[in-house]
Amino acid sequence: MFDYRKLLKNNFTKSVLMITGGTAFAQFLSIVLSPIITRIYPPEQYGVLTVYVSILGMLSIVGSLKYEWGIPIADDEEKAINTLALSIIVLLFIVSLITFAIIIFGTSFLGLFDAKSLIDYKFLIPIGVFMMGLYSIFTQWALRNKNYKSISKTKFSQSISQNIIKIGLGLLKIGPIGLIIGNITGQSAGITTLASPLFRKNRELLKKINFKKIIWSAKRYKEFPMYLAPSQFLNTAGLQLPVLMITSIYGKSTIGLYGLANSIVSIPMNLIGRSIADVFYAEAASIGRTDPEQLKNLSIKLLKKLILVGIVPLITLLIFGPILFSFVFGEAWYQAGVYARILSFLVFTRLIFTPISMVFSVFEKQKQALILDVLRVGFVLFVFFIAYYFSLNSYSAIILYTISMSFIYFLTFVWAQRIINLEIENKY
């Protein structure tokens, strides 16, 4: 008989459950309120949000050039706090550059992707990047201190504020800006919750921030901006470029349907995958180099458990996707269910393979990760070139995209296992 008490005593499992609990509430609330939101905002306006989220997703990845990922693996608290300070300085610099670029090129760039309705709100892009960047930095500080409870709390505040704002502004009929402002709030709410332990309990640590040590951190973790930031940007581009391509080829209405489908089928990834990836990174940063064999065992157990978790929503969407979307969100969203059916397999492979890919950062194998992400973007561009050249319909394009990205996720997992195996060999 399966011993649940033993499972709950496991520190890793408890940490995952703590973060997942907050995320579960956030996802549950979003699911419950989505039928209201989709009846307030038509697919065209949802399409504007989808393009905004796509652009924001790519830019926010490089907001602090991934220096914040050095925080959990820093040797001591003094080095960690200076890495945090460095991350904030870099974030401010990058946001300034983005603002300047939007002033000069924003209108023409957005026009390329049939996102002219987003032009009026283009200055919300750097605001979103800044807020998401701060949240990411202080999340890494919380992960270093294994303050999973605070991270869980932020998921509550994010979901509540995001959905209330979307519905409230939607009822005022102010257009897609209601969705955009709700998104910014949802991505960044909880910054004070994550930062307050540092400012309340560790004020003395702040006095140890100085220019020399910030420069030292910049040099020590230079591989993060050199390899991880471009790698993560390309990784995210692999997810977000399809949004821009679909918008450009098939229009706003199609991307609105795709956007809802993608957000709904991604719930297992957002609910479990990210929480596990965060905890896996924190745990792997502690045990990775000292006990790579234990890390390998952990990664294999995770894979098996994630397959069991992901198989039920996968089968459900494959069989009932269009019917469910039409019933829950309204007849106008039936086609979104067809897209959800296709995307469900992609999200399944992302769910089971992505958490283990954190070993690239743990063992500072950013070059290898960059190679994989270049390959990912290459596949995306090739798929949509084929779709455009042969005038494929949107369903065929998304099927090709799903197949190619699923292969990349599998390849990433295999390579991650190879890195762990090499660490085991080197140790013994």
**pLDDT digits over 202-219, tens only?**
777 888 888 898 999 898
**Of 226, 223, 231, residue with least CA distance to 376:** 231
pLDDT at 304: 85
Query: Does any domain span residue 1?
Result: no
Take residue 214 and report the two structure tokens written for it.
């910030």
Cα dihedral 243, 64, 186, 8, rounded to 10, equals 100
Strand ranges (E), 343-403 = none
pLDDT digits (tens, 9 = 90+) for 83-128: 999 999 999 999 999 999 888 887 777 766 655 667 777 888 999 9
CA distance 45 to 54: 14
Residues 6+ apart with CB under 8 A from 261: 325, 336, 337, 338, 339, 340, 343
Cβ 332 vs Cβ 251: under 8 Å: no
Q: With residue 189 as reference, give the H or E element that holds it.
A: none
114: left (phi over 0), alpha (psi -120 to 50) or beta: left
Query: Does any domain span residue 4?
Result: no
> Is 293 in a helix, a strand, or coil?
helix
pLDDT at 134: 92
pLDDT at 268: 62
What is the DSSP annotation of 145-170?
TT-HHHHHHHHHHHHHHHHHHHHHHH
DSSP code for 369: H
pLDDT at 397: 94
Query: Does any domain span residue 122?
Result: yes
Cβ 322 vs Cβ 338: under 8 Å: yes
Take residue 141 and report the two structure tokens written for it.
């500080």
| Tally of domains in the chain | 1
pLDDT at 384: 92
CA distance 393 to 339: 12
Query: Does any domain span residue 2?
Result: no
CA distance 160 to 151: 15
Backbone angles phi, psi at 80, to 5 degrees: -65, -45
Question: What Cα–Cα distance (Å) separates residue 95 from each residue in 89, 121, 179, 273?
Answer: 10, 16, 22, 28
Take residue 407 and report the two structure tokens written for it.
């292969």
Query: Does any domain span residue 292?
Result: yes
pLDDT at 1: 39
Query: Does any domain span residue 301?
Result: yes
Q: Residue 215: which domain range?
A: 9-427
Query: Does any domain span residue 72?
Result: yes
CA distance 259 to 263: 6
Cβ 123 vs Cβ 102: under 8 Å: yes
pLDDT at 13: 59
Query: Does any domain span residue 146?
Result: yes
pLDDT in tens, the chain (428 residues): 334 354 445 555 566 666 666 666 777 777 788 888 888 888 778 878 888 888 888 888 888 888 888 888 888 888 888 999 999 999 999 999 999 988 888 777 776 665 566 777 788 899 999 999 999 898 888 888 877 778 778 887 888 888 889 999 888 888 888 888 888 888 777 888 888 888 877 777 888 888 898 999 898 888 888 877 887 788 787 778 888 888 888 877 788 889 889 888 887 666 666 667 666 776 677 666 677 788 888 888 888 888 888 888 889 889 998 998 888 888 888 999 999 999 999 989 988 888 888 788 777 777 788 888 888 889 999 999 999 999 999 999 999 999 999 999 999 999 988 888 888 887 76
Take residue 126 and report the two structure tokens written for it.
């750097």
CA distance 321 to 394: 17
pLDDT at 7: 43
CA distance 195 to 76: 18
Cβ 162 vs Cβ 92: under 8 Å: no
